[in-house]
Structures are given as C-alpha cells and as structure tokens.
Amino acid sequence: MRHLEVAQQVFEIEIAGLKAVQSQLSESFNRAVELLNSTVSNKNKIIVVGVGKSGLVGKKIAATLTSTGAPAVVLDSVNALHGDLGIVTDGDVVLALSYSGESEELLNLLPALKRFPVKIIAITGNPKSTLAKYSDIILNVRVPREACPFNLAPTSSTTAMLVMGDALAMALLKARGFTKHDYARYHPAGAIGRTMLLKVRDIMRTGDRNPVATQDMTVKEALLVMTRAKSGCVSVVNNRGKLVGVFTDGDFRRQMSTDPHAINRPLKDVMTRNPICVREDALAAEAVRIFNEKNIDDLIVINSKNQPVGIIDSQDLPKLKLL
C-alpha cells in the first residue's frame, strides 16, 4: 500500500470519528459552557487534568482557553497529590480528560478534588466509567475506532478530545462576548496584536520623511520634496496647512505624457483632490484595511485639524509585520 493511501485512510477514519462525536453532542455541552462561563465570570479558573496522550491534549486545550481570556492551568495528576493541589481554590472547575475514564493516576486524584467545592467536567469516551461517576457533566467523545491499524494508538480519540476542547473554548468565547481586540490584548507580540493595538501614529513616517508641499508650488518643486523624503507622493496643503490634495510620481508621468510643460505647472492644477487618508489616532488595522481595499501605495495621515502629519508607505507594512 502506498503511503498516500494510508494517509487517506487515516483522514477518513478520523473524520468519521469527529462526525460520530458531533452526532453525540447534547444538552450536556450547553451545561458545560454555562458552568465554564460562570466560573470565569466569578474570577475563578479552569483546572485541566489528564494523563498520557490525554494530558498532552489537555495542555493544548488549556492554552487555547487561556489565550482567549479564560484562565486555565494544567495540574499534573501525580504532583497534585504531593502539594500541587494548592493551586485549586473554591469555585474552580476541573476539566478531566481520559478516553477510557479509568486512568489510575487520574482516579487517585478525583477523591482529593472532590474535597474542594469544585465541579468536574469529564471529556471521555466511556460515559459509564469511574471518571464519569465522579463528574458533574459528561462530554462523550466515543469514536468508532482509532486510526491505528491495530486500533491501539490514541489517534481518532485524541483528535475528538482536542476538537471537543476547541468547541468548548469557542462557545465560551462567544458566550463571554470576547472580541478581536480582547484577543489582541493577550497576543501583543503577534501580527494580530500589532495590527489591533498599534495606532497609525505608531507606524507612520514623520518629519523629513513626510513630504508636504503647498498647492502653489510647481510640480518640479514637489518632485524635489518627494525625492528628499524618498517617497512616491506628496501631500498638498493650502495656505492654512489643511490637506487639499495629493500628487504622486504616477500623476507626474501621466501629466508629462500629455503636457511637456507640466513640470512648471502649480500643484493645484494637477493634484488629485479629496485624497484617501486616515486619522493618526486610528488603529493600524484601519490603515491595513484601506491599503487592501483601495490598492494604493501611500496613505496620508491627518490630525483632527485635517493637517497631514504623516504618511504610511505600503512597503513599510511587511517590515512591521502588519500584513
């Protein structure tokens, strides 16, 4: 059998497993989300426990919950019995993962957890297991079979547990009204965080790199301003410093192709009026949106007085990791 055929079979088996788990979703899922929501709303946390492959899946679920604003910690089942139970506080909720529901290390921990006023949500493939009996809410992730040819290595089952965790995290996210801006707060170093948290003033070119010319200046003079700023355009202002237009190197080429004397004409005769611009206090995300929608090379930045205080060059965006 070719390797690709094996891969196709694995995908088919695991997809079938997910469909089976999807068909088993019930009111228990709603109850689990409501419990998690009330726990987080009350400033408590989610304690994730699991052993072996289930424990590894639990770490990913905890990371997803935490990154979406629902504080979650992983508790090692063995170390918990040697002092780490101190992380558990009244009102927390325990998310316990075990496909068989009979993992010895996890079962040893359950009586100790029950001494705290905490609720337990079980993600298991065995709703009649010992874990299920200890739990307040059971989420059934039973799959028809593992993708392993011997039906032994955790494959379909761990995928099902992971997707159930994702479903909980996303449902909880929506229930809490979590937004992209909230997500950015927890990811300040990522591209999403930079785009959603940075303001236009943080990324614009200013000073000598912000080319500005008065509308009475000639095209030739404007080209010198552009060249000094190493820019492809110049913001055009009136005698009060208000933005009235823009003149680009593309405009210059078009003018010269039809009028050899255009280089001596005043900007007010050749500029593009009502240029596309953005406020300096807008989010960088707004600037990115404008670039994507308008297909422009440069974006003029204005202040509250409609004065051009900066410019953003599209070539700067990849360097800033905003695209």
Tally of residues, the chain: 323
Q: What is the pLDDT of residue 1?
A: 62
Over the stretch 42-79, which tens digit does the pLDDT of each residue have?
A: 999 999 999 999 999 999 999 999 999 999 999 999 99
Mean pLDDT of the chain: 95
DSSP states along 25-78: --HHHHHHHHHHHHHHHTT--EEEEE-THHHHHHHHHHHHHHHTT--EEE--HH
If one compares 243 and 190, the residue with the highest pLDDT of the two is 243
Contact 53, 154 (CB under 8 A): yes
Is the confidence at residue 91, as pLDDT, over 80?
yes
Q: What is the pLDDT of residue 318?
A: 84
Q: How many CA atoms within 13 Å lie on the side-chain side of 51?
A: 18
Q: What is the mean pLDDT of residues 227-236?
A: 96
The band of 323, judged by pLDDT with boundaries at 50, 70 and 90, is low
Is the confidence at residue 98, as pLDDT, over 70?
yes
Q: What is the pLDDT of residue 87?
A: 96
Closest CA to 316 of 292, 297, 290: 297
Pairing of strands 233-237, 212-214: parallel
Rounded Cα gap, residues 305 and 77, in angstroms = 62
Residue 213 main-chain phi, psi, to 5 deg: -135, 150
Q: What is the pLDDT of residue 293?
A: 94
Closest CA to 42 of 71, 85, 63: 71
Q: What is the mean pLDDT of residues 79-97?
A: 96
Q: What is the mean pLDDT of residues 202-207?
A: 96
Say what angle helices 53-67 and 156-175 make with each other, to 10 degrees.
Answer: 20
> What is the identity of the amino acid at 247?
F
Is the confidence at residue 322, as pLDDT, over 90?
no
Residue ranges and CATH numbers for the domains of the chain are: 3-178 (3.40.50.10490), 197-319 (3.10.580.10)
Percentage, residues of the chain above pLDDT 70:
99
Q: What is the pLDDT of residue 181?
A: 80
